[in-house]
Amino acid sequence: MYRLDLEDNSLSFEGRRHEPLSLECNFVGFCSQCEGDLSSIAYYRICGSWAVAARCRGCGKLFVLRFDRSWSIEEESELGAGLCEGSSFEPPRASRLNDLSREELEAVFTPAELRDMERCERGEAYTRQNLYRARAKYDKFERLFGVRIDI
């Protein structure tokens, strides 16, 4: 079983702790649960192969993807997540647009993206491309303000 420490992004596997080699956020595939986009959290080198911790943007589940040296997929497993003892880290809370500061939202999203995010949240017609662009910025917003947007 793989386990991700949410505080420092270290990965535990077979009793060993692996530090991330990169914290780059990239599209790495599709979720096997809901078919949403998987975004990388961190990259690791384990036993001569690569492991990528990823989060689904759709359902929020965590996965670890194992790749061989030529980056061919070998395994996909659900990833357990937790905190090391004594940690004060709090996972980001999910939030709706109405609960967030307009100033924070405008720091990351364009007016068109905000307009269509609000329309989508209300169930009204929106421009899909603006919503796609906004969703690509959700991780940046979460990193900056510690809040995960849930639309």
Q: What is the pLDDT of residue 89?
A: 40
Domain ranges of the chain: 3-82, 93-149
Q: What is the spatial distance between Cα 55 and Cα 79, in angstroms, rounded to a whole number?
A: 9
6 has a pLDDT exceeding 60: yes
37 has a pLDDT exceeding 60: yes
Judged on CB neighbours under 10 Å (0-12, 13-18, 19+), 36 is: middle
Host H or E run for residue 12: strand 11-13
